Amino acid sequence: MNISEQIQLENIAACEYEIFALLKQRYSPRTFKEASIKQQHINQIFEAARWSASSNNIQPWRFIYAERNTPAYDKILSCLNDFNREWATNAPLLMLTAYKEETEDGVENFHALHDLGFAIGSMTMQAQYMGIALHSMAGVDWEKAQDVFNVPEGYHIASAIAVGYYGGEIEKLSEELQEQEINERKRIRQRDFAFKEQWD
């Protein structure tokens, strides 16, 4: 077993209750295999988004993606904050996520960001099934991204995602990031977010 396989094994969630294996295995690496994402796999990831849950079937999610060694990839990279830019160059594909702010009637779509999250969740599980990791990033200059990619009025850039096959070389990361890759995963307990009958 090589180091990357060992890290994947150690990152399997230590669940208190048994859950679907793909959910336990999912984590957000900062290094990926060098291989480009197969076009078929890209299509499958977006097909999963296409069929995710959507309030009133509005489907407000939008995505801009680019492969490494293209001008568009460099543009996405330039919109990331310094911390994310440091490691995101390891990803063979980068993506920006966005949502449509209003319904066709011009009413604010309060659930648009919620639906975008649903779509990304579906994409994440489809990707996990194919051995592909999605690492979502909040550290993105959305105003710059809106300008660089000529995002139409009424749409809002929300986040960025680094995409790549699991199995990258941890040595490509700084010592600080290497330590984060192997740190024990932690989550708050269910009792801290799931309240029966009243808010505790």
**Overall average pLDDT of the 3-20 stretch:** 87
Across the range 79-105, mean pLDDT stands at 97
User: What is residue 38's DSSP assignment?
Assistant: P
Report all structural domains of the chain as residue ranges with CATH numbers, in order of start. 27-170 (3.40.109.10)
CB 28 within 8 Å of CB 135: yes
* Count of Cβ atoms closer than 10 Å to residue 124 Cβ: 23
Q: Is the pLDDT of residue 70 over 90?
A: yes
Residues whose CB is less than 8 angstroms from the CB of residue 161 and which lie 6 or more positions away in sequence, other chains included: 94, 95, 96, 97, 120, 134, 135, 136, 137
Is the pTM for the entire model greater than 0.85? yes
Confidence band (pLDDT; 50, 70, 90) for 96?
Answer: very high
Q: List residues bridging with 64 in a β-sheet.
A: 96
Q: Which residue has the tokens 């690492």?
A: 135
